[in-house]
């Protein structure tokens, strides 16, 4: 499928492709004339065949390219170097302005004709990308990417051997590199060009500060130890900043110091502005290998060289897109492989007179030829509004929040992307070079459903598999007009036995997407099953344990305490020792300086009282362990745990009570120590709890209302969308809109699709026509073998004996005796042995009851015979469960024949017959796929099949419909006397077959 889409994309690209994009400004459309219309202008310059000049000789074409490339290179370089100006030129989706500055150093030693040594790069690239074509809605992504490279480089050729290639000779050289790379990027998103310009200007100054800071750090690192330590200490004291030279300067560990920032003019307000708009952080590590071949020669005034290079790299990336209010964030982990073809055009001038040829200046023009990348990604969503934990370096770490259960990361996308870019311009053009970029993406938006998708794929259901996984394929082809330059000037010191180079990669310019073609193939979404309603239930909740509220006090004195009507006032009574009072809130101090507390409690005569007690006579007590009822002291925690108890009838002590009742004293003390503070003082009316008698808290029942049934939602069909050409308007004379197939149902786009059909599922018309069986008019009263002749007499005797043991066998026998069947159904039943016939009867009876129990909200929908009403969800569930149970008991072959014969009753309407036969087949499949399922498992599996839409019912119009597309209780009924269907010969049962095969 992907190959076909790729071919179609190539066909779509061909008519729009031209060798070179027009360099002169595109004229606006002219009035209609006899000649072809001119190209459309903004947002994308047209690149149609009408603008292609007549073919010219190769030399003329190369010259024209070189001449047109010089102003383009100069203009683009200025736009990239001054990003504020370059942003103004971004006029369509995907347009980009870039500025890259990457210093590079390399040192090599000549070891027997092979130069070997280290190579290092440390720099940054700033890019500004426009998102969207609509000026009013476009946003701008500003990205600062700090990158580094450390590698071991080697080369061998004529110049590396003794004597060299000789004056004027061609010098071929082979080169190789192997090293590691890092990338640390921070992205900001802005809604206006003005904000993007401010951000870009700040980042250019930050880039200068970062380079100055890195230079100081590297100088200190390379200095001798006596110089290194004081230099680093002075830098930390005077300037500060981060300690990690390869970290992004917008993070804590990569921030430049104060001196470097002041030198570059970086203000704190501008940095705060950038941090406020950060939208993503991305870190990448990887390896890179390179093979290169260089040919150089003496061109009198200077040496010229041409180098071709092949790079292979592997990278692992982690990207965090920050969540915001109303917008989810994400974490994406990616693994990519890249193959890159590039070239260098080099000019070198040795300073013979000044240095004797030891020092040379050089300049490279870097050419990107082709680039192929494959990336596999896993994306996890972060809930909107989450405040993410940050690392010491200042980067978000959502993984830490997920591990600490502060939030949940959910896998929501799996994708694979192939990206191919190739140069579309002459190598003699000095500008960065126009290119074509083709991107293919396979995206799975429902990774949680991959197991189901794999199951469908293995069964050959490719469309259903794609729909279940939420698959879509995105194809895109961009024609990019690249201006500006990509150069690498520097110097080289050649000491014959060793050499060193210092260069800087300088790239600046604009990437203008002048044409874009897209094709998106979206798999249809699977149908969402309806949710069955639930009946009202009774919930049993465990009440909360008693808790201390800080307001309970106990009387301390052995003789009790007086409670008075006021501090030092008249006595209202005596509260016994160890009794509990409750703080009423009042506090006073009498003339003698004694504190008084206002309390409520019970006096020695068990009367409720409220008054004042001296504070020094009371002590705080846990309210969960002590309280007063109408008779005496109780323990609320023991009451909560329902411990057995006695009420003391006269004043006593715990020792006597334990001895009297035969309890262990220590256990008795442990059970009652919470409210009986002094075991020697137990008063009449106090509660004493029996040790080790706790029953646990008593659940509290509450009514839980039922929930109504929610109908399922239909799936959507697979669609393909395209956008093509340089402008948003359709081209004149372009293809007409796609027409719907004749006889198609609206919204399906295909002929012969029924009104209730769902993409990815079997046709309901096929189910209707394929599940019809001939009628059998031979109706008879059928008796099982157990009730025939002598068997009937023995059965009566057995029923009588069973009744004396409390077993009701007679009712079951009576049910067997009164059943009527068609002749074919009776013949199939006769193949069961007598005990299996009894078992069949039990399965039939229990399945009808279980179907009603499964849908209690529909329990009132019954026919006069007491069976669940036909044609709906209860009927579908009953037939599927009935077939599943019989398949387990009697085997697939017999069950299929019997359930088919069962539908041969005369006058059975076509839709009802097809519904029952299809649902019977689903039930048999469930039993075969789950051979060890319990009966409860079978019921759950059948219920799932109903909810998922595997079964069929009849809708209000009398048509078949999937069970998840009709709400519970909203099905239709087949009218009496409806026509029968045309029999399918393959469904005819064979009543003369041998006994059922168990499987």
**SS3 per-residue string spanning 29-40:** CCCCCCCCCCCC
Tell me the two tokens of residue 524. 């249809």
Token pair, residue 550, equals 């800080």
> Quick one: pLDDT at residue 329?
93
Structure confidence by residue, pLDDT tens digits, 192-202: 999 999 999 99
**Band of pLDDT at residue 528, cut at 50, 70 and 90:** low
Which of 125, 98, 149, 104 is closest to 210 using CA atoms? 125
- Strands 820-822 and 952-954 come out as unpaired
- Shared-domain flag, residues 506 and 587: no
| Cα–Cα distance, 694 to 273 (Å, whole number) | 65
H-helix or E-strand spanning residue 910? helix 910-929
Q: How far is CA 850 from CA 188, 449, 594, 932, in A?
A: 61, 31, 76, 20
Flag whether 742 is in a domain: no
Same domain? For 591 and 445 the reply is no
Residue % of the chain over a pLDDT of 70: 78
**Based on the domain organization, do 513 and 560 belong to the same domain?**
no
Residue with the bigger pLDDT between 120 and 868: it is 120
What pLDDT was estimated at residue 792? 64
**What residue ranges in 112-232 does DSSP mark as E strands?**
114-131, 139-157, 171-190
801 or 286, greater pLDDT: 286
CATH of the domain at 684: 3.10.350.10
Report the C-alpha gap between 457 and 450 in whole angstroms.
10
Mean pLDDT, residues 786-813 taken together: 67
pLDDT at 642: 93
Query: Is the pLDDT confidence value at 549 over 50?
Result: yes
Q: What percent of the chain has pLDDT over 90?
A: 47
Q: Are residues 517 and 561 in the same domain?
A: no
What pLDDT was estimated at residue 67?
41
pLDDT reading at 805 higher than 80: no
pLDDT-derived band at 232, boundaries 50, 70, 90: low
Confidence band for 465, pLDDT divided at 50, 70 and 90: confident
The mean of the pLDDT values for the chain is: 81
Higher pLDDT, 354 or 911: 911
Rounded (5°) CA angle 501-507-512: 160
At residue 954, φ and ψ (nearest 5 deg) are: -110, 130
Q: Which of 700, 717, 736 is the last residue of a domain?
A: 700
Q: What is the pLDDT of residues 66-93, one digit of tens each?
A: 344 677 777 778 877 888 889 998 999 9
User: Does some domain include residue 955?
Assistant: yes
User: Residue 933's pLDDT band (boundaries 50, 70, 90)?
Assistant: confident
Domain count, the chain: 3
In total, the chain counts a number of residues equal to: 999
Model confidence band, residue 353 (pLDDT cutoffs 50, 70, 90): confident
Least confident of 732-736, 877-881, 972-976: 732-736
Flag whether pLDDT at 331 surpasses 50: yes
Choose one of 503, 523, 543: the last residue of a domain: 523
- For residues 103 and 148, the answer to whether their CB atoms sit within 8 Å is no
Domain range enclosing 957: 764-779+822-962
pLDDT digits (tens, 9 = 90+) for 729-775: 333 333 333 333 332 222 223 334 577 888 888 999 899 988 999 88
**Residues 485, 346: one domain?**
yes
- What per-residue confidence (pLDDT) applies to 231? 60
Q: Average pLDDT for residues 573-600, to the nearest whole number?
A: 93
168-207 residue pLDDT tens: 567 899 999 999 999 999 999 999 999 999 999 999 999 9
Q: Are 260 and 209 in contact, with CB atoms under 8 Å apart?
A: yes
Per residue in 470-493, is it b (16+ CB within 10 Å) or e — as a string? bbbbbbbbbbbbbbbbbbbebebe
**Rounded distance between C-alpha atoms, residue 426 and residue 422, angstroms:** 12
Same structural domain, 828 and 937: yes
* Whether 213 contacts 205, CB under 8 Å: no
3-class DSSP state for residue 662? coil
Encoded tokens for 686: 């106090």
What beta strand segments (E) does 323-401 contain? Answer: 329-350, 359-382
686 and 774 part of one domain = no
Q: What is the pLDDT of residue 201?
A: 93
pLDDT reported for residue 526? 56
- Alpha-carbon distance of 519 to 476, in angstroms, equals 6
User: At 235, is the secondary structure helix, strand, or coil?
Assistant: helix
Record the pTM. Answer: 0.53
- Say how far apart CA 275 and CA 256 lie, in whole Å: 15
Between 189 and 7, residue with greater pLDDT: 189
Q: What share of the chain is helix, strand, coil (3-state, %, to 5)?
A: 30, 30, 40
Q: Round the CA-based radius of gyration of the chain to a whole number and report it.
A: 44
Alpha helices in 409-564 (DSSP H): 450-458, 462-469
In a domain, 773, yes or no: yes
Helix residue ranges per DSSP H, 423-461: 450-458
355 confidence band (pLDDT: 50, 70, 90): confident
Same domain, 323 and 470: yes
Q: Provide the pLDDT for residue 536.
A: 83
Query: Quick one: CA dihedral 902, 908, 912, 917, positive or negative?
Result: positive
**Is the pLDDT assigned to residue 37 strictly greater than 50?**
no
Residue 395: inside a domain: yes
Give yes or no: residues 768 and 645 share one domain. no
Q: Residue 54 — very low, low, confident or very high, per pLDDT cuts 50/70/90?
A: very low
How many CB atoms sit inside 10 A of residue 154's CB? 16
559 and 487 share one domain: no
Give the mean pLDDT of 715-721: 57
Nearest CA among 717, 713, 714, 715 for reference residue 747? 717
Could you give the angle at which helices 935-948 and 910-929 cross, rounded to 10 degrees? 130
pLDDT digits (tens, 9 = 90+) for 153-168: 999 987 767 555 555 5
pLDDT of residue 341: 96
In a domain, 801, yes or no: no
- How far apart, in whole angstroms, are the C-alpha atoms of residue 672 and residue 653? 11
From CA 865, how far away is CA 811, in angstroms rounded?
A: 18
To 10 degrees, what angle do helices 810-817 and 790-804 make? 150
Amino acid 666: pLDDT? 94
According to DSSP H, which parts of 132-182 are helical? Answer: none
Confidence of residue 875 (pLDDT cuts 50, 70, 90): very high
Q: Rounded to whole angstroms, how far apart are CA atoms 721 and 267?
A: 48
For residue 133 the two structure tokens come to 């074509």
pLDDT at residue 65 above 50?
no
Most confident of 258-272, 688-702, 771-785: 688-702
612-644 per-position pLDDT tens digit: 999 999 999 999 999 999 899 999 999 999 999
Contact predicate 25/481, CB 8 Å: no
Task: Report d(CA 981, CA 975) in Å as an integer.
Answer: 14
Amino acid 226: pLDDT: 64
- Yes or no: say if 968 and 873 are a contact pair by the CB < 8 Å rule: yes
Higher pLDDT, 38 or 83: 83
Q: Do 338 and 373 meet the contact criterion of CB atoms below 8 Å apart?
A: yes
Q: Is residue 805 part of a domain?
A: no
Of residues 57 and 578, the one with the higher pLDDT is 578
Beta bridge mates, 236: none
Q: 17 is written with which tokens?
A: 């492709």
Which three-class secondary structure state does DSSP give residue 53?
Answer: coil
Are 126 and 211 part of one and the same domain?
yes
In a domain, 799, yes or no: no
**What whole-number distance in Å separates Cα of residue 809 and Cα of residue 806?**
9
Residues 6+ apart with CB under 8 A from 700: 540, 541, 542, 543
Q: Are residues 252 and 363 in the same domain?
A: yes
Instruction: Give residue-wise pLDDT tens across range 408-438.
Output: 899 999 999 999 999 988 777 778 889 999 9
Q: How far apart are CA 834 and CA 512, in angstroms?
A: 85
322 within some domain:
yes
CB atoms within 10 A of CB 155: 19
pLDDT top residue among 78 and 14 = 78
Distance, CA of 507 to chain centre: 38
């Amino acid at each position: 499928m992907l190959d076909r889409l790729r071919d179609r994309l190539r066909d779509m690209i061909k008519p729009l492709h031209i060798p070179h994009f027009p360099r002169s400004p595109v004229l606006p459309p002219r009035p209609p004339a006899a000649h072809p219309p001119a190209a459309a202008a903004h947002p994308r310059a047209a690149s149609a065949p009408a603008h292609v000049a007549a073919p010219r000789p190769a030399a003329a074409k190369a010259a024209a390219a070189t001449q047109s490339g010089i102003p383009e290179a100069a203009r683009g370089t200025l736009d990239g170097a001054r990003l504020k100006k370059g942003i103004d030129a971004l006029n369509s989706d995907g347009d980009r302005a870039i500025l890259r500055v990457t210093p590079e150093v390399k040192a090599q030693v000549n070891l027997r004709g092979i130069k070997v040594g280290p190579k290092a790069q440390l720099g940054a690239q700033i890019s500004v990308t426009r998102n969207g074509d609509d000026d009013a809605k476009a946003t701008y992504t500003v990205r600062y990417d700090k990158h580094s490279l450390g590698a071991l480089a080697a080369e061998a050729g004529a110049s590396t051997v003794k004597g060299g290639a000789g004056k004027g000779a061609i010098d071929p050289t082979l080169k190789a590199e192997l090293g590691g790379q890092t990338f640390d990027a921070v992205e900001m998103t802005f809604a206006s060009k003005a904000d993007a310009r401010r951000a870009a200007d700040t980042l250019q100054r930050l880039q200068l500060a970062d380079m100055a800071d890195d230079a100081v750090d590297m100088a200190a690192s390379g200095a001798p130890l006596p110089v290194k330590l004081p230099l680093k200490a002075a830098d930390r004291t005077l300037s500060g900043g981060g300690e990690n030279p390869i970290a992004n300067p917008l993070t804590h560990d990569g921030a430049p110091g104060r001196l470097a920032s002041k030198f570059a003019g970086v203000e704190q307000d501008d940095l705060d502005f950038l941090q406020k708009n950060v939208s993503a952080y991305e870190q990448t590590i990887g390896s890179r290998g390179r093979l290169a071949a260089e040919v150089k020669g003496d061109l009198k005034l200077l040496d010229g060289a041409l180098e071709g290079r092949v790079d292979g790299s592997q990278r692992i990336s982690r990207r965090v897109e920050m969540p915001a209010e109303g917008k989810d964030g994400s974490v994406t982990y990616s693994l990519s492989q890249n193959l890159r073809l590039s070239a260098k055009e080099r000019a070198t001038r040795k300073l013979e007179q000044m240095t004797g040829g030891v020092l040379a200046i050089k300049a490279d023009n870097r050419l990107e030829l082709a680039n192929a990348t494959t990336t596999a990604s896993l994306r996890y969503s972060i809930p909107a509004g989450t405040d993410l934990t940050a690392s010491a370096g200042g980067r978000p770490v959502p993984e830490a929040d997920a591990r600490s259960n502060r939030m949940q990361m959910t896998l929501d996308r799996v994708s694979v992307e192939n990206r191919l870019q190739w140069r579309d311009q002459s190598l003699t053009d000095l500008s960065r070079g126009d290119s074509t970029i083709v991107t293919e993406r396979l995206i799975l938006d429902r990774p949680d459903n991959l197991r189901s998708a794999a199951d469908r794929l293995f069964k050959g259901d490719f469309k259903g598999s794609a729909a279940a996984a939420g698959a879509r394929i995105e194809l895109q082809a961009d024609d990019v007009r690249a201006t500006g330059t990509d150069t690498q000037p520097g110097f080289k010191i050649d000491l014959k036995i060793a050499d060193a180079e210092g260069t800087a990669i300088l790239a600046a310019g604009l990437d203008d997407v002048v044409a874009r073609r897209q094709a998106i193939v979206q798999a249809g979404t699977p149908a969402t099953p309806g949710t069955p309603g639930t009946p009202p239930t009774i919930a049993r909740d465990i009440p909360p344990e008693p808790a201390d509220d800080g307001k309970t006090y106990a009387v301390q004195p052995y003789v009790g305490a007086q409670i008075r009507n006021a501090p030092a006032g008249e006595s209202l009574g005596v509260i016994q020792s160890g009794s509990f009072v409750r703080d009423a809130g009042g506090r006073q101090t009498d003339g003698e300086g004694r504190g008084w507390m206002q309390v409520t409690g019970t006096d020695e005569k068990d009367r409720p009282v409220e008054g004042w007690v001296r504070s020094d006579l009371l002590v705080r007590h846990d309210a969960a362990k002590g309280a007063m009822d109408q008779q005496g002291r109780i323990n609320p925690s023991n009451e909560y745990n329902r411990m057995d108890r006695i009420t003391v009838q006269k004043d006593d002590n715990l020792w006597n009570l334990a001895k009297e009742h035969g309890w262990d004293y220590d256990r008795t003390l442990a059970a009652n120590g919470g409210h009986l503070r002094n075991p020697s003082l137990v008063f009449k009316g106090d509660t004493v709890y029996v040790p080790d008698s706790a029953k646990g808290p008593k659940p509290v029942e509450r009514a839980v209302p039922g929930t109504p049934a929610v109908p399922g939602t239909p799936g959507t069909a697979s669609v393909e969308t395209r956008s093509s050409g340089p402008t948003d308007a359709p081209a004149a004379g372009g293809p007409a809109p796609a027409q719907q197939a004749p006889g198609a149902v609206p919204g399906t786009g295909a002929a012969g699709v029924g009104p209730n059909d769902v993409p990815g599922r079997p046709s309901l018309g096929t189910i209707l026509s394929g599940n019809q069986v001939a009628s059998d008019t031979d109706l008879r009263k059928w008796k099982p073998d157990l009730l025939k002749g002598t068997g009937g007499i023995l059965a009566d005797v057995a029923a009588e004996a069973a009744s004396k043991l409390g077993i009701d066998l007679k009712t079951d026998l009576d049910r067997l005796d009164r059943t009527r069947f068609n002749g074919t159904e009776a013949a199939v039943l006769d193949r069961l042995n007598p005990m299996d016939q009894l078992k069949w009867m039990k399965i039939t009876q229990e399945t009808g009851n279980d179907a009603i129990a499964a849908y209690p909200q529909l329990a009132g929908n019954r026919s006069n015979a007491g069976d669940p009403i036909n044609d709906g969800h209860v009927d579908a569930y009953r037939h599927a469960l009935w077939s599943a149970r019989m398949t387990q008991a009697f085997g697939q072959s017999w069950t299929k024949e019997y359930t088919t014969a069962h539908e041969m009753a005369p006058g059975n309407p076509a839709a009802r017959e097809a519904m029952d036969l299809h649902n019977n087949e689903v039930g048999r499949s469930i039993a075969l796929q789950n051979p060890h399922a319990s009966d409860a498992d079978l019921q759950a599996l059948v219920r799932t099949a109903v909810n998922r839409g595997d079964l069929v019912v009849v809708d209000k119009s009398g048509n078949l419909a999937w069970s998840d597309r009709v709400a519970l209780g909203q099905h239709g009924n087949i009218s009496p006397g409806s026509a029968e269907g045309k029999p399918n010969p393959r469904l005819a049962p064979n009543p003369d077959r041998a006994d059922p095969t168990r499987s």
